[in-house]
Structure 1
């Protein structure tokens, strides 16, 4: 695939504070990328460096083979949508959409045709005469999106565009943005702290922490094979169980000995297992395996399609509760209820393992 945006060794200082540390990333033509991470991780700073709103302190940024590192925003080829919509309150929807088009030197008839087309595209064909405060938050954000896209930019930048909306509107707009992006084939970068949003929308996710990139991968790669304990903890639910390596092939969890899932650890090392609640399963009553732990079900929480069981590992009171997601149809077969003792099977292929120093 053709590289559209090339970020090489980009750093950003604000006085003594380092917001970005040596960031390198290639983004392909037509890709939908999400910068994901907690507040203060550097994701918005990186987006602003790409837009020229905050110039990089070091490194280079190239767009379509052109060095844009120090260009002012108006000399760059992008459209941007902010969390706050940033529509002009004193202009109608049509006037908000037409402003940039008129600045591009388009004729009145061209402007009217493009505005009408975009109002249709965002399913607001009759809203042209309305003012922003007469629209809902979701409608305003669709207008902001149309305004950015109507100028036919090569790159679309989205800075947490859905975080001010309620859950139902957010889910609907998420689908709309993704559909539009695919239809137009526009290279898109979205900043979000919402892991569900990133997993649902992105071709690739860039997980950031403390100004560094922790991992770049498809949603499936990030979720199923987190490269670090931080990624494992930040994306999705994860149980962490401390263990000690007792031999080349075995580890100890509490009082139990289990097969060691990876070979690169030495005897005496302290490790942590990362286990997704949906990857754990209870064995039928009375059964156990060489990779199972005896647990007691402390609590059950109904979650619609599954039941989440909080379990206590026997003989290890200081260890955290283990969360297990059990499909509803299995609850009946297991006869699962509070206080039950069952063996919990740990599948090696679904186990992440991290050194405790991480």
Structure 2
């Protein structure tokens, strides 16, 4: 249904996508994962026609929408976004604030020349299938983040595109709503038979939508296929390859079917795990998985209780994009962006080359430590 062959893109001489190739079958959900700045969003925008690649081939439903061979000065085929018939939802919802939800759904249909009767009928269908009937006359500013995301997806689906692109659809949604929306969207996408390609930085998304995972590192595809649960929980290498830090911890107490108290950092914290993994046992060994993109030098203002981790500060790097801290957490190296004012504060808390780092417990995850030294 979707075919991408040899797609490459650079910005100012820096390669963002390097010879990316993959296929997505009809009705399949592909999850694109990777560290920060690994080329995930650029890949989606290239498919949507919002960014022109340096070269490569893109086919949607057998229709050639982009083709440019290496060495060509100009693409042989480069259809504009509106001719590709693709639904695209960026990280920040794309609703027009001055239009009601009903008006937002109507706009792309009017632009495509739909009749008044067909527009009204389609809007009724969308509001019903998305569970948004009571919100049709509300404005985006009156909706929660979860409802805004549902409305954005409804608009992207309004003209029945065969392909839907979602850029980190759950990142701005609280954990409870996030879990509910995953279930809703999975049922919806299967019912509609739409092909979905979505980026994420959340491990829960990878576990939930794991039938087809595309992992990018430095713009290259390093994994393409099903990521079964056993492979996730048995391979810290896979976790780190996808941009996560995995820290060995001990389970102090199991709570219910999907939470546990573990000893980590300076104390004990409560974290979630996937109940399918059946990993929880008092005194058991596990891996605390952290997305370094959520680490900060100060406790988070919002979210669950902060987790305090101690890091070794190796160096401070002044790049074109700003200051970066090269740190190690439990021997795992990562680079964190900071601003000048944060750096001034850091100098007051560095002790013996070590600094405290914080992350909200909603952004950590627990997986099995069995097979910790496997090849992955």
TM-score (ref. length: structure 2): 0.64
Distance 1:7 1:102 in 2: 31
Distance in 2 (CA, whole Å) between partners of 1:15 and 1:237 is 30
CA contact (8 A) 2:213 2:224 kept: yes
CA deviation string 1:319-341 (max 9, x = no partner): xxxxxx6514989xxxxxxxxxx
2:113 match: 105
* Alignment partners' CA distance in 2, 1:84 and 1:308: 34
Distance 2:211 2:40 in 1: 17
- For the 8 Å contact 1:223–1:236, the answer to whether it is kept is no
Whether contact under 8 Å (1:97, 1:150) holds in the other structure is yes
Shift of 1:230: 5.2
Contact 1:32 1:204 in 2 (8 A): yes
Query: Rg bigger for which structure?
Result: 1
Alignment-derived partner of residue 223 in structure 1: 232
Structure 2 gap segments, 5+ residues each: 67-77, 265-278, 286-369
- Which of 298, 303, 327 matches 2:281? 327
Q: Does structure 1 conserve the Cα–Cα contact (< 8 Å) formed by 2:253 and 2:283?
A: no
SS at structure 2 position matched to 1:68: strand
Are the equivalent residues in 1 in contact too, given 2:90–2:166 (CA < 8 A)? yes
State the 1:72 CA deviation.
1.4
Q: CA deviation at 1:186?
A: 0.5
The CA distance in 2 between the partners of 1:11 and 1:301, in whole Å, is 47
Alignment of 1:52-201 (within 5 A): 52-69=49-66, 70-201=78-209
**CA 1:85–1:167 in 2, change beyond 3 Å: closer, same or farther?**
same
- Please name the residue that 2:36 is paired with: 39
Structure 1 contact 87–132 (Cα < 8 Å) conserved: yes
The Cα shift of 1:201 comes to 2.2
Go from structure 1 to structure 2 and tell me whether the alpha carbon gap of 1:31 and 1:105 turns closer, same or farther (over 3 Å shift).
same
Helix, strand or coil: the match of 1:49? Answer: helix
Task: Give the secondary structure class of the aligned counterpart of 2:135.
Answer: coil
Unaligned stretches of 5+ residues in structure 1: 241-276, 278-298, 311-324, 332-348
Q: Is the 8 A contact 1:10 1:60 kept in 2?
A: yes
* Counterparts of residues 232-247 of structure 1 (less than 5 Å): 234=242, 238=246
Count of aligned residue pairs for this structure pair: 266
User: Structure 2 CA distance, aligned partners of 1:28 and 1:7?
Assistant: 12
Q: In the superposition, relative to structure 1, how do residues 308 and 326 fare at CA in structure 2: closer, same or farther (>3 Å)?
A: farther
Q: Aligned-residue CA RMSD in angstroms? A: 3.0
> Among residues 24, 29, 40, which one is paired with 2:26 in the alignment?
29
- Aligned partner of 1:263 in structure 2 is none
**Matching of residues 188-337 of structure 1 within 5 Å:** 188-220=196-228, 222-223=231-232, 229=237, 231=239, 234=242, 238=246, 301-304=252-255, 308=262, 327-328=281-282
TM-score (norm 1): 0.67
Which residue number corresponds to residue 5 of structure 2? Answer: 8
Taking structure 1 as reference, are residues 22 and 327 closer, same or farther at Cα in structure 2, changes over 3 Å only? same
User: Against the structure 1 CA distance between its residues 18 and 235, is the aligned structure 2 distance closer, same or farther, given a 3 Å change threshold?
Assistant: closer
Deviation digits for residues 303-325 of structure 1 (CA, Å, limit 9, x no counterpart):
52556468xxxxxxxxxxxxxx6
Q: Is the 8 A contact 1:204 1:217 kept in 2?
A: yes
2:190 alignment partner, SS class:
helix
